[in-house]
Structure 1
Amino acid sequence: MQLTGPFRVTGPDGQDWTPKSRKAQALLALLATSPNLLRTRSWLQSKLWSQSDTAHAGASLRQSLSALRRALGEHVRVLEASRQDVSLNSDLVCVLWDEEGSHKAGEFLEGMDLADPEFRNWLQFMRRGSGSPALMPVLADQFESRWKVVLTLDEQGAHPPLLQNFADMISRALREQGELELTENANDNSQDRLVTVTIGMVGGSEGTASVRLVANDPRLNRQIWARTLPVSVDTQDEHQNLALLGMAFQLQSELTRYLAQSRNLLGTDACPPLVLGAAIPRIFSFQPDELNQAALMLSDAMDSRNAAQFLGWQAQIAVINLIEQFTDAPEACVESGKMLAAKAIEMDPMNSVVLSTAANAQVLLERGNAAAGADLAKMAVQVNPANPLAWWAFANVAIYAGRTEDALRSARVASRLAARTPLQFWCEFQLGLAAFKAGDIATAKQALETSACLAPQFRPPRRYLLAIYADLKEHDKAVHVMAELKKLEPEFTLDRFVNDPLYPVSLVRQKKLLTWDRYQDLG
């Protein structure tokens, strides 16, 4: 296989076996440039069919493999495929890159052009380093290191103890992210990408000041995010502590979002990707294809540094698959989710994200067994009180344990910490559930409406809003939200909503609001 100049596949006798299909050529090139000539099916799908959902991408890959086998004819044995991987037989294939280090043979994959944006990004990146195998760059998914973050404490102002405590809080939040590496070397000149975070104090009137937090990308000379928070120097009340905790989580969220998008910024497509930044939105989409894609992403990118978090998020996927009835094998789903949660805890029992996802799995996979996850949720809050997912898990335990006031209080904390972050819709939903359980319908309604507004494709809050609107006899709103549910859930019917004991509105069922007379006028 010749990769420099026009792509060519030739047999031992010099006969041309190059597939006519550009997709088939691209598929072979992706395999030929891979470690051990092997890639997972999900990775290949992400490069050649990135704009398709999982089901269509999988079908397209199978069709391309079939066409490729036909094109290879008597040499079909060079291509090997299992349910998980596709590879080239290294005993039967010789991959040629411009071995003399010159450009006489032409550029890498000369003339090859596919419409898929992910393949174009990969091709552009590879061409920048083409010339000889020794000079080929390391692909983003093969990076041995993570993004690095430098925390700088500006102590020119007064009250360094307050700043130091805040810096410790931020360090804990960033370390838990799993794909970032904290360093003290702001002058790091390695190939690793670097961002800086400066924590300072801005003076104010007597007894007051403001904490200022600034994140920068020094290589691009770009400010990523900044925020200033007024604080009381002499007293540390609960409101101020929550505001500082929320500021720490907002920084983590903004860094994750920026770094996850960094390959689309000037000159940064070579940096290691943040898998969680791409996987978590897919998880919270509550769409089966997106959940499957997220699970594959987490599985493919797992290594010893992020394994605990990735296993925890896979346990969360098992929870969603069970509750949303996306699985045809619920018992196997339960066992798999519990196993993933247990392995995550075993690998990192002091990470609040791991503890939170494991707590949710223990409670919800056991169909509301609050005792199963109570200790994990409590420990998650203690380990990192700046993590809204920890408070979410604690509220979840309290809801199922019947401790309504604890649930409502914890859900309010989660909502405040997650404000102005991508997790706000998720925490507003939990606040809505806790308030609904506590009988505070006004708060429940407002929180669920906010969650639904922030996430137009998110079904769970709309289910509870349907029950609330019907109970309050707000007919037009009930009809509207029911129409939204029908679009989001093709199998949705009022009969299923009212009569299916497995339909995921257990708290509505507990409140005995699922009587047909409440909904019969909705049509």
Structure 2
Amino acid sequence: MQADTDILRIILGGRFRLELSSGADVTPTSAKAQGLLALLASAPGHERTRLWLQEKLWSDRAREQAAASLRQELRNLRIGLGDNKKILIQNRMVISLDTEFCGIEDDLSPGQEFLEGIDIRDAAFNDWLTAERHHRHLVEATGGAARLANVPGTAAASGLIRPDPAYPGRVPAGLLRRAIVFETFAKPGDPLHVLETAFVSFTALGLSETMSVDVFQGRTPSTPPDAIQINVQSFLTGPDKTGMKVSAEDGARHQLIWSGIETVPNFGAVPVDHPDILRLSNQLIEALADALLLKTEGIPDYMDASLMGRMALRKIFSMQAEQLDEADKLLETAFELDPRGIFAAWRAQLRVIQHVERFDDDADRLIAEAEDHCYTALEVEPSNSMVLAAVAKSRLVLNDNVMACHELATKSVALNPSNPFAWDILSTAKLYAGDHEKAHALAFKAQQLGVRSPHSFWWDMGRCVTAALTGRAEEALRLAEVSHALSPHFRPPLRYLTALYAAQGQMEKAIYVARKLKQLEPDFSLERMAQDAKYPVSPLRKSGLLDKERLSDISGDENVT
């Protein structure tokens, strides 16, 4: 830290101020400059990407205009700061504050408001400000979990708030955690103990990749009494078969939340990585997420980043344009509460879906935004399998970079072999690299791991594509039908069903699904599917299953063209 005479104080409590060590007020007169400094000062690590800042201060402008406005505001701010401009560090992607030359004070005195009186006419900034004030009020109101825990109907009373161990008595905003304790039954040295501990490891990894939870192996005096308890018990059902039973119960009420059981062959070794065991782990993770979501219902003003992320994921996979917009807002807020890479990665994945599903025609903006979110996600969580899978998808679809996709997908699988998203994107990478049979085998694995997931239609469709490319037309047709049945708003199954029914001569069915597709995609036409090389059915073209003549035969139907 430099000498006091060199240091500016950025004061966020009460009226926003920028003061010299002498007490002289050097606050910029520009409201946007004040907002820019406040956004940086309150950010994790005191840095934000340029795109994030543009979205908060110039959300009503086109991307190019917003970028130009940010550059101009930075120039004016640096001029106004004079010799103190060294507090600003900037490059092409990120802007940050150098805390060697500035101090940040964000504590609130009694009666003070965070950024009191700041007036920036931008809805996105004001939404951010409201959220920030809410979380500061939450921390102030609790004085720690102990005081809030006695107030009926609050998050703490429901066992959802836990004090930050680094700051006893204080609840960090947005990091309201829940404890989960695993109990295993096989004794050390027993091969079944290896299976049970491996299951715990896979599940704990999957939970940590998407949620902020405290995981315990066995109850100890320090284990919270309200922790959700997971019982993992394996058993032999014969000389060559092993079973596993898993149950989850609410620690406070001893109420059963979920249970599942699987029996798998041994093949001469403990089946720690058998797809059925890994799938059981994924089912448990989904059940725990649902239980935590239900736990928050009816709690006033409850906001938690992890659960927002789960809600956003459900909205993303609804495959509906308006739901995607809502998911993006949830993920944005989640990242502000808890700056995890997974939230940025899902925002990139969301833009891939918007592009592929043709919900947004501004490809340049989607690519730029996805690139920004990928950069953030990899910077924050470079070893998160879910992050790598989402970034790999973006690199392939939006950047046409097969090599980068393959490298990221390979690492994603290595980090978490129970992640169906990882196997799915590795399958897609193999597909685009021309290794169709390998792609199909990997798509099958992804589908098996996610078969009981709420998003199973996604992996059904992935296997449908590889089946089509490997000449398995009947299999592709069946998988497209299943995918459509599970997700009626998902357009790819309807595209494939239209072409596959037509290729088989089932013209009435082809017309029927084409009409359904047109309801979701108003500019769809059979002529476009048959002739437009940019229409998103390229694997069908390569497979030879896109019969242009038969599509042309039914293209005159007045309700399809």
Residue 235 (1) aligns with residue 268 (2): yes
- The corresponding residue for 1:473 is 505
Give the distance between the partners of 1:89 and 1:355, measured in 2 at CA: 31
Give the distance between the partners of 1:161 and 1:238, measured in 2 at CA: 9
- The corresponding residue for 2:445 is 413
CA contact (8 A) 1:179 1:274 kept: no
- Give the match's secondary structure for 1:225: strand
- The corresponding residue for 2:395 is 362
Q: How many residue pairs are counted as aligned between the two chains?
A: 408
Give the distance between the partners of 1:238 and 1:467, measured in 2 at CA: 41
Deviation at 1:310, TM superposition (A): 0.7
- The corresponding residue for 2:326 is 293
Which digits, 9 at most, give the CA deviation of each residue in 1:373-408, with x for residues without a partner? 110001111111100000011011011111101110
Give the 5 Å matches for 1:59-138. 81-86=121-126
Deviation at 1:516, TM superposition (A): 4.9
Structure 1 counterpart of 2:349, which letter? Q
Give the distance between the partners of 1:84 and 1:190, measured in 2 at CA: 40
Structure 2 unaligned runs (5+)? 1-116, 131-136, 142-151, 159-168
- Worse-superposed segment, 400-409 or 303-312: 303-312
Give the 5 Å matches for 1:239-258. 241-258=274-291
CA contact (8 A) 2:355 2:361 kept: no
Structure 1 counterpart of 2:179, which letter? K
- Worse-superposed segment, 511-520 or 461-470: 511-520
Q: 1:339 aligns with which of 349, 372, 380?
A: 372
CA contact (8 A) 1:418 1:427 kept: yes
Distance 1:237 1:196, change over 3 A: closer
CA contact (8 A) 1:314 1:340 kept: yes
Residue 451 (1) aligns with residue 483 (2): yes
Distance 1:174 1:277, change over 3 A: same
Structure 1 counterpart of 2:211, which letter? G
Deviation at 1:306, TM superposition (A): 5.3
Give the distance between the partners of 1:154 and 1:517, measured in 2 at CA: 61
Give the distance between the partners of 1:241 and 1:78, measured in 2 at CA: 57
Residue 197 (1) aligns with residue 237 (2): no
CA contact (8 A) 1:149 1:197 kept: yes
Which digits, 9 at most, give the CA deviation of each residue in 1:470-489, with x for residues without a partner? 11111122122112212222
CA contact (8 A) 1:193 1:271 kept: no
- Give the match's secondary structure for 2:232: strand
Q: Which runs of 4+ in 1 moved over 6 A?
A: 77-80, 87-90, 187-193, 237-240
CA contact (8 A) 1:225 1:254 kept: yes
Structure 2 counterpart of 1:518, which letter? L
Give the distance between the partners of 2:440 and 2:293, measured in 1 at CA: 33
Deviation at 1:361, TM superposition (A): 0.5
- Give the match's secondary structure for 1:518: helix
Deviation at 1:269, TM superposition (A): 8.5
- The corresponding residue for 2:353 is 320
Structure 2 counterpart of 1:498, which letter? A
Give the distance between the partners of 1:370 and 1:439, measured in 2 at CA: 23
Which digits, 9 at most, give the CA deviation of each residue in 1:272-293, with x for residues without a partner? 4612221112112222221111
Give the distance between the partners of 2:531 and 2:377, measured in 1 at CA: 37
Give the distance between the partners of 1:220 and 1:372, measured in 2 at CA: 48
Give the distance between the partners of 1:141 and 1:324, measured in 2 at CA: 38
Residue 464 (1) aligns with residue 496 (2): yes
Give the distance between the partners of 2:201 and 2:463, measured in 1 at CA: 28
Structure 1 unaligned runs (5+)? 1-76, 91-96, 102-122, 130-137
Which digits, 9 at most, give the CA deviation of each residue in 1:395-426, with x for residues without a partner? 11011111101110000000000011112111
- The corresponding residue for 1:35 is none
Give the distance between the partners of 2:455 and 2:172, measured in 1 at CA: 26
Residue 154 (1) aligns with residue 185 (2): yes
CA contact (8 A) 2:276 2:449 kept: yes
CA contact (8 A) 1:356 1:377 kept: yes
Deviation at 1:84, TM superposition (A): 0.2
Distance 1:460 1:270, change over 3 A: same
- Worse-superposed segment, 380-389 or 512-521: 512-521
Deviation at 1:461, TM superposition (A): 0.9
Residue 429 (1) aligns with residue 469 (2): no
- The corresponding residue for 2:108 is none
- The corresponding residue for 1:282 is 315
Deviation at 1:521, TM superposition (A): 2.2
TM value normalised by structure 1: 0.70
- Give the match's secondary structure for 1:198: strand
- Give the match's secondary structure for 1:447: helix
Deviation at 1:502, TM superposition (A): 2.9
CA contact (8 A) 1:463 1:485 kept: yes
CA contact (8 A) 1:411 1:431 kept: yes
- The corresponding residue for 1:167 is 200
Which digits, 9 at most, give the CA deviation of each residue in 1:433-461, with x for residues without a partner? 11111121111111111111111221111
- The corresponding residue for 2:413 is 381
- The corresponding residue for 1:39 is none
Residue 180 (1) aligns with residue 220 (2): no
CA contact (8 A) 1:78 1:88 kept: no
Give the distance between the partners of 1:181 and 1:152, measured in 2 at CA: 15
Structure 2 counterpart of 1:390, which letter? A
Distance 1:214 1:269, change over 3 A: farther
- The corresponding residue for 1:302 is 335
Give the distance between the partners of 2:322 and 2:225, measured in 1 at CA: 33
Distance 1:234 1:296, change over 3 A: same
Give the distance between the partners of 1:387 and 1:172, measured in 2 at CA: 10
Distance 1:192 1:199, change over 3 A: closer
- Give the match's secondary structure for 1:502: coil
Give the distance between the partners of 1:245 and 1:124, measured in 2 at CA: 37
Give the distance between the partners of 2:410 and 2:460, measured in 1 at CA: 20
**Identity level (%):** 25
Give the distance between the partners of 1:261 and 1:385, measured in 2 at CA: 29
CA contact (8 A) 1:79 1:87 kept: no
Give the distance between the partners of 1:467 and 1:292, measured in 2 at CA: 30
Deviation at 1:179, TM superposition (A): 2.9
CA contact (8 A) 1:78 1:89 kept: no
CA contact (8 A) 1:351 1:380 kept: yes
Distance 1:237 1:491, change over 3 A: farther
Give the distance between the partners of 2:449 and 2:300, measured in 1 at CA: 30
- The corresponding residue for 1:352 is 385
Deviation at 1:429, TM superposition (A): 0.6
- The corresponding residue for 1:503 is 535
- Give the match's secondary structure for 1:274: helix
